Structure 1
Amino acid sequence: MRPQETLRAYLRLAMTPGLGPVLIERSVAVFGSPEDVLCASPADLAQIRGVGENKARSIAAGFAQSAALADRELVAAERGGAAIHVKGQPGYPLLLSGIPSAPTILYVKGRLDAERDRFSVAIVGSRLCTAYGLEQAERFSAQLGQAGLTIVSGGARGIDTAAHRAAVRAKARTIVVAGCGLNHAYPPENAELFERIVAEDLGAVVSELPMDASPSPENFPARNRIISGLALGVLVIEAGRGSGALITARLAAEEHSREVMALPGRVDSPSSEGALELLKAGGAALVTNPADVLDLLESPARFLHAGLHEARFAPAPPTTDSAEGKLVKQRTAALASVALPGPGAVDLTETQRRIVEALAEPKSIDELARTTGLEAGRLLADTTMLEIRRVIVRNGALLVRRTPR
């Protein structure tokens, strides 16, 4: 099946009432393709776990209406400047694809970066926040963004907006997870911010909802799982007892195996009650500065990146006598000359030090594996953390060690 036909078939499934991400995945696994699911009889659909006879008849009836809906959606996305990604297909975020109930369809305005966005942290908190909360959201977002992390949040008023704005000011990447279709900007006062993220190629605005879906309270709890799913960890800046940020934190810890972190706030402030309860109950690690976040993300980075296989698809480094090779050589020298604090200022594990020592000369990931003798999962996890800490940088297919002071 051609990619556009596959996309249309998945859109039809996603637009069918009664079919959520889990049932869509089960159905495709049983029948072999989304097109085959659409051709299945009610009796066959009833055999899928979680469907049954009554629901199968309803789903089959929905298929009859889904073609027009999917075609309308394709037109709306094209007019709205949005790409549509399908789980399991190229372009879909790798971190998100690993969570339970990952959305089948993800609409994207702007650009996702598979390489850079795998280093990400969600910064969340209350809409009704204090000046302290806003200040800390900006501080953590700007510094973590400058360190190379993509900042993920929900685009809402308060902490979310502060995190996105600080990332934009720092020229860091940021991803807005909307609780409405991408033909709407919510809250409306953030329309200019969202447009700037897209126009300046600083990230993306994403949603699982159809392009014209209006912002509605029931959309936001489901939206929170995407925020968590797109990140290595979730940082709660400030949250009252009823804050949606606590939903994101719970999903991150209980369902997504993500690191959950929280800032301590004033003990007499209602805006801090939820975050303080998280800390008291041991549901979050206490952080007081961005370096704490980088330290805490090291373990989940190892876990999440152990199964990645980017290295085997890395292009061969260009020969040094080619025009491209000369450009790579020049850029490598420039990157390596960027000063790094002395060795004592960066606390590295034994394997990370082995990697840094092996990069006395720039190497591809395959060359580095041969030199260090590290297995692929461990090597990818440690190079990830070294990139986050800005000890090494990528230059095309090469890894480059920065020069210590």
Structure 2
Amino acid sequence: MGKKQRRVEVCDTSARYYPSDALTLEELAYWIAFSRVMGIGPVRFQMLLDFFQEDVASAWRATSKDLIGVGLDQRTLESFIKQRTNIDPASELKRLEKLRIQVITWKDAGYPPLLRKMDYAPPVLYACGQLVEDDLRYTIGIVGTRKMSTYGRQVTEHFTRDLVKGRITIVSGLALGIDTVAHNTALDEGGRTIAVLACGLDTIYPPSNYHLAKQIVDSGQGVLLTSFPLGIKPDGGNFPARNHIISGLSLGVLVTEAPDKSGALITASSALSQGREVYAVPNNIFSNSGMGTNQLLKDGAHPVTEVKDILEHLNIHTVPRDEELPLCEPANEEEKQLLALLTREPQHIDDLIRSSALAANTVSSTLIIMELNGMVKQIGNMQYVRTR
């Protein structure tokens, strides 16, 4: 990757360490070791488990003759033997324990069941933070472009906010743009979020999202998750695997804004191949940033304009209706007048001044108070929308 990655410790190093609920430390060390071996993916690892009757230590120490019996081809066999000379299972486990990185294997009860059902589910996951029950059952992936428009930000905030109010966990990829807005909005609204990385958890990419990654863990509201072991950098080839996990963790994937060539479309494709639902927000037909989402709709994705569309399609009925939420009433005539002018469509402050015939300083100060009270929101460039 062109940008420098930030190498940091983001897990809570004071937290109690729970390495695995199904394996002994010795067994776990060998599962971790195998996750470091290039060429031994889920299919070949299952072959080894079957042949050695789930004795992973014996599989690790197997001779060439035994490995031929497993069914490994000569090239994979030779590569594995060469790689294992440089991997010490016990040391790998100690490195993870020092950083308080959790290890979740196929054998653990905490392995996400939705992910476990997909083809090529990774045998080992690494996590900073604790997955909770809702993370394993009610999850929606939200993805989109890194170069989002004001509209993309607005709809991402809108959908994320209403989803987390219904105790839906938001899954995304910690990328700039739509991913960042989805994670931040989930945290701001007191919801949960899972950030899936395309590298080991000792590297945060992009580095500008280090504080967001740390907040996800420190807040107790989310988890950093990856299938890549420590030391693996976010190379371009890792991102499709990351996207495959995002969709695999989710009941459905929502694409809020994406151009015609976007990693978000790879995530949508993964979701379809896994039998998951794909939702897309309609976009301006003249906007390049929305060409990908509009194409998804033409290809059969479910069009959505509100969270209810997603929840009813998935037969989930947990989100409170707007009328059940506490509303802040206008405190004076100025607030009442501005609130009547505002909608979900962004309006510039100059337009509000002209439409209301109020003094510029009155409109400016009133909008500040209204935003503090949660009645309106500035979405950038002095443009305002009504929150509900």
TM-score, normalising length: structure 1: 0.70
Cα 1:13/1:116, change in 2 over 3 Å: closer
Aligned counterpart for 2:132 among listed residues 113, 129, 132: 113
Aligned to 2:145: 126
**5+ long unaligned stretches in structure 2:** 1-21, 325-388
* 1:204-283 superposed matches below 5 A: 204-254=223-273, 256-282=274-300
Instruction: Name the CA distance, whole Å, in 2 between partners of 1:228 and 1:54.
Output: 32
Aligned to 1:54: 75
SS of equivalent residue, structure 2 residue 133: coil
Query: Is structure 2 residue 313 aligned with structure 1 residue 296?
Result: yes
Offset of residue 215 of structure 1:
2.2
When the two chains are superposed, the root-mean-square deviation of aligned CA atoms in Å is: 2.1
Instruction: Name the CA distance, whole Å, in 2 between partners of 1:53 and 1:219.
Output: 25
Aligned to 2:14: none
Aligned counterpart for 2:49 among listed residues 21, 28, 51: 28
Offset of residue 241 of structure 1:
1.4
Instruction: Name the CA distance, whole Å, in 2 between partners of 1:191 and 1:279.
Output: 34
Aligned to 2:173: 154
Query: Is structure 2 residue 171 aligned with structure 1 residue 142?
Result: no
Offset of residue 188 of structure 1:
1.6
Amino acid at match of 1:36: S
Contact persistence 2:145–2:257 (CA under 8 A): yes
Instruction: Name the CA distance, whole Å, in 1 between partners of 2:256 and 2:91.
Output: 40
Offset of residue 86 of structure 1:
1.1
Instruction: Name the CA distance, whole Å, in 2 between partners of 1:9 and 1:114.
Output: 28
Aligned to 1:394: none
Instruction: Name the CA distance, whole Å, in 1 between partners of 2:44 and 2:223.
Output: 28
Amino acid at match of 2:63: S
Deviations, residues 310-338 of structure 1 (Å, cap 9, x unaligned): xxxxxxxxxxxxxxxxxxxxxxxxxxxx9
Aligned to 1:196: 215
Instruction: Name the CA distance, whole Å, in 1 between partners of 2:263 and 2:177.
Output: 12
Deviations, residues 207-233 of structure 1 (Å, cap 9, x unaligned): 111223222222111100110111111
Offset of residue 2 of structure 1:
5.3
* 1:36-115 superposed matches below 5 A: 36-49=58-71, 51-66=72-87, 68=88, 70-115=89-134
Of Structure 1 and Structure 2, which has the larger fraction of its residues in helix?
1
Deviates more, 1:256-265 or 1:11-20: 11-20
SS of equivalent residue, structure 1 residue 46: helix
Contact persistence 1:119–1:149 (CA under 8 A): yes
Offset of residue 72 of structure 1:
3.6
Instruction: Name the CA distance, whole Å, in 2 between partners of 1:61 and 1:208.
Output: 22
Instruction: Name the CA distance, whole Å, in 1 between partners of 2:183 and 2:134.
Output: 20
Instruction: Name the CA distance, whole Å, in 2 between partners of 1:223 and 1:116.
Output: 17
Instruction: Name the CA distance, whole Å, in 2 between partners of 1:127 and 1:281.
Output: 23
SS of equivalent residue, structure 2 residue 136: coil
Query: Is structure 2 residue 18 aligned with structure 1 residue 18?
Result: no
Identity of aligned residues (%): 36
Amino acid at match of 2:151: Y
Offset of residue 181 of structure 1:
1.4
Amino acid at match of 1:264: P
Aligned counterpart for 1:171 among listed residues 183, 190, 195: 190
Q: Number of residue pairs matched?
A: 299
Offset of residue 340 of structure 1:
11
- Which has the higher Rg, Structure 1 or Structure 2? 2
Aligned counterpart for 1:287 among listed residues 304, 307, 318: 304
Instruction: Name the CA distance, whole Å, in 1 between partners of 2:305 and 2:162.
Output: 13
Offset of residue 36 of structure 1:
2.6
Contact persistence 2:139–2:170 (CA under 8 A): yes
Aligned to 2:384: none
Cα 1:224/1:2, change in 2 over 3 Å: closer
Offset of residue 244 of structure 1:
0.4
Contact persistence 1:279–1:285 (CA under 8 A): yes
**5+ long unaligned stretches in structure 1:** 302-337, 343-405
SS of equivalent residue, structure 1 residue 91: coil
Aligned to 1:4: 25
Contact persistence 1:73–1:210 (CA under 8 A): no
Q: Report which structure shows greater RCO (CA 8 Å, sep ≥6).
A: 2
Amino acid at match of 1:100: D
Amino acid at match of 2:296: L
Instruction: Name the CA distance, whole Å, in 1 between partners of 2:44 and 2:238.
Output: 19
Offset of residue 88 of structure 1:
2.5
Offset of residue 127 of structure 1:
0.6
Contact persistence 2:157–2:182 (CA under 8 A): yes
Aligned to 1:185: 204
Instruction: Name the CA distance, whole Å, in 2 between partners of 1:80 and 1:92.
Output: 20
Offset of residue 90 of structure 1:
2.9
Cα 1:38/1:121, change in 2 over 3 Å: same
Amino acid at match of 2:64: P
Cα 1:58/1:133, change in 2 over 3 Å: same
Amino acid at match of 2:67: L
SS of equivalent residue, structure 1 residue 240: coil
